[in-house]
Amino acid sequence: MAKWQRNPTGRIAYVNGRYLPHAEAGVHIEDRALQLGDGIYEVTNVIGGKPIDEEPHLDRMERSLRELGIAMPMGRAALKLVMREMIARNRIANGLLYLQVTRGAARRDHVPPKNPPRPTLIITMRAQDMAALAQRMEKGIAVSTQPDIRWGRCDIKTVQLLPNLLAKQAAKQASAFEAWLVDDDGYVTEGGSTNAWIVDAKGTVITRDLSNAILPGVTRKIMLEAMKEAQISVVERKFTVAEALAAKEAFITSATGAALPVVVIDGQTIGDGVPGALSRRIRDLYAEKAGIN
Ligand code: PLP
């Protein structure tokens, strides 16, 4: 597998048209993402050298940019070529590909300039620790509930991740792998960087319905399609922390980890305390649909 032997010269990053050694790549200090969090991002899983769920990720990226009035930095076909070039240059078969687009560099002012600067496009890659991921899938993870202090447009995948960061940090301190964010009415919105799901006593899968309160996860979307095709009973609605604690199974979904079973919430065991059968089945259905072998 010489093709996938890690590039001996190290990781390569892409910034505004140039492929650079990761350690030397940078953006201008007045980039609006650095100054104001004025940018968006996407993350796709790469397996066997292939970006997973690529089209829906690029659809969401275009939507996030449209919502903020930032132009696409290049056409979709060109972007796909650059993504492939990054996979080839980094020689990473199984990893994560990060796309970041900012409004660009401009004299600092909250209001975006009338003549828009060239958007900044950053692409980075890193290998995924497949053994650690497999262990999490096998054993399940713990989550810790945290107040959802994020802004009102969580449906846009922006780089303003400070509230998410604080929640995930608090979860880690509570020995949990992920935070579940809870709104003012006591309902779980989603995870700090994942969507949240439970399975009730009757075997119905429940996940929060789409609104400004959650990110429309690409993995969530493909997973829902896979469940409907397999005639698994699923509803998109709010659920409370109490419902989650009483659930038969729970899991989280994201491009970085597909579906990871949740076996502990706030220190309390969920179901039998081991990954549930339905969560596993859903994960397998998703893998088949997403073309992950
Ligand atoms: N929710 C949030 C807040 C996220 O940051 C993410 C991924 O980063 C997700 C959900 C899962 O989305 P996806 O399945 O597209 O990775």
Per-residue pLDDT band at 2 (split at 50, 70, 90): low
CATH number of the 133-290 domain: 3.20.10.10
pTM: 0.93
Q: Which of 159, 160, 161, 166 is nearest to 122 (CA)?
A: 159
| Catalytic residue from among 3, 157, 168, 172 | 157
**Per-residue pLDDT at 1:** 42
pLDDT tens sequence across 138-193 = 999 999 999 999 999 999 999 999 999 999 999 999 999 999 999 999 999 999 99
Residue entry with tokens 């964010």: 181
**How many Cα atoms sit within 13 Å of 166 on the Cβ side?**
9
pLDDT, residue 3, reads: 64
CA distance 197 to 247: 10
Average pLDDT over residues 45-62: 97
Question: Residues of 210-227 as b/e, b for ≥16 C-beta within 10 angstroms?
Answer: eeebbbbbbbbbbbbebb
| Mean pLDDT taken over the chain | 96
Nearest CA to ligand 1 atom 3: 193
Residues 227-280: tens digit of each pLDDT: 999 999 999 999 999 999 999 999 999 999 999 999 999 999 999 999 999 999
- Is 157 among the catalytic positions? yes
CATH class of 12-126: alpha beta
Tokens of 12: 């390569």
Expressed in angstroms and rounded, the spacing between residue 220 Cα and the centre of ligand 1 is: 9
Q: Where in the chain is the domain with CATH 3.30.470.10?
A: 12-126
How many beta carbons lie within 10 A of that of residue 286, not counting itself? Answer: 23
pLDDT score recorded for residue 56 = 98
Q: Where, residue-wise, is CATH 3.20.10.10 in the chain? A: 133-290
Between the CA of 193 and the centroid of ligand 1 the distance, in Å, is 5
CB 6 within 8 A of CB 91: yes
End-to-end CA distance of the chain: 18
